[in-house]
Amino acid sequence: MATLPPQQPLRFEGESHRARDMAQSFGSDPERYDRARPSYPAALVERVVAASPGREVLDVGCGTGIVARQFQAAGCSVLGVEPDTRMAGQARQRGLDVEVATFEDWDPAGRAFDAVVAGQAWHWIDPIAGAAKAARALRGGGRLAVFWNAFQPPPDLAEAFGAVFRRVLPDSPLSQRPAAGAAMYAGICARAADAIRETSAFGGPEQWEFEWDRPYTRDEWLEQVPTSGFAARLQPETMKQILAGVGAAIDAAGGGFTAHYTTVAVTAARTGAADPA
């Protein structure tokens, strides 16, 4: 396991946690989001559970409940916190108990959990306020684990996707790097680790990585493209052009491909007892 080194002081100007409009854009089609977004490797869930003192889990930014359902399947009792009522409604339809609030404003109300987790959501939360709130919600020895899925299509297809974005959105960062490789999460992971240290309520943060592959058909990949954060700012015609170009690239590659994923997690154990509510 890798221990994360200290970084330079955090700077919040332009940080993603301030982009609340984009953070809540995912609820525009929660059913599509729930269908299309990938889950997380079972090895991650198993490791978090094994490293926690019990099986009471708080899922922060739970969305439609993708992470929560995996922890439930592992035998955990899960409470979700989600600011978007549309996403929360979808999660409730799937059997999850959800409280609607931003995590920064959410009240633990004296409750203590064995693990606080967040999948593809922690960058929408103020990292310092989030780490402090997680410390309040965790019992002694409880584990904070925040993680992201970084994907990489085959190199030739990644270049073809990049060509589509360069043509349709030449000023977008996606025109240079259309696949969210693990390196793109280095800064997010560093900020999360620094904020965990700043609370002085956790042991040293570690980074875990899990490698896995997922095959996609053309239609499966095209269904998930509009669920990404960048899609919220696009006009329908622009998205139509992107989907057409990406679809044509997949057709030229044989109608499907296997994406390589690296799930990166920043995690630390709560020291002492949970703070009083």
Provide the Cα torsion 17, 54, 112, 80; round to 10°. 40
Q: What backbone torsions phi and psi does residue 268 show, to the nearest 5 degrees?
A: -155, 155
pLDDT score for 3:
36
Residue 174 pLDDT class (50, 70, 90 cuts): low
Mean pLDDT along residues 110-137: 97
b/e map 78-96, b = 16+ CB within 10 Å: bbbbbbbebbbebbbeeeb
Whole-model pTM: value is 0.88
What kind and span of H or E run contains 258?
A: strand 256-269
CATH number listed for the domain at residues 2-152+180-215+258-269: 3.40.50.150
* pLDDT tens track for 180-220: 567 778 999 999 999 999 999 999 999 999 999 999 999 99
How does DSSP assign 175-213, residue by residue? Answer: GT--S--GGGGHHHHHHHHHHHHHHT-BS--EEEEEEEE
* pLDDT tens track for 58-80: 999 999 999 999 999 999 999 99
* pLDDT tens track for 18-42: 445 555 555 578 999 999 999 999 9
**Closest C-alpha among 233, 231, 256 to residue 243:** 231
Does residue 56 carry a pLDDT above 90? yes
pLDDT score for 173:
64
pLDDT score for 197:
97
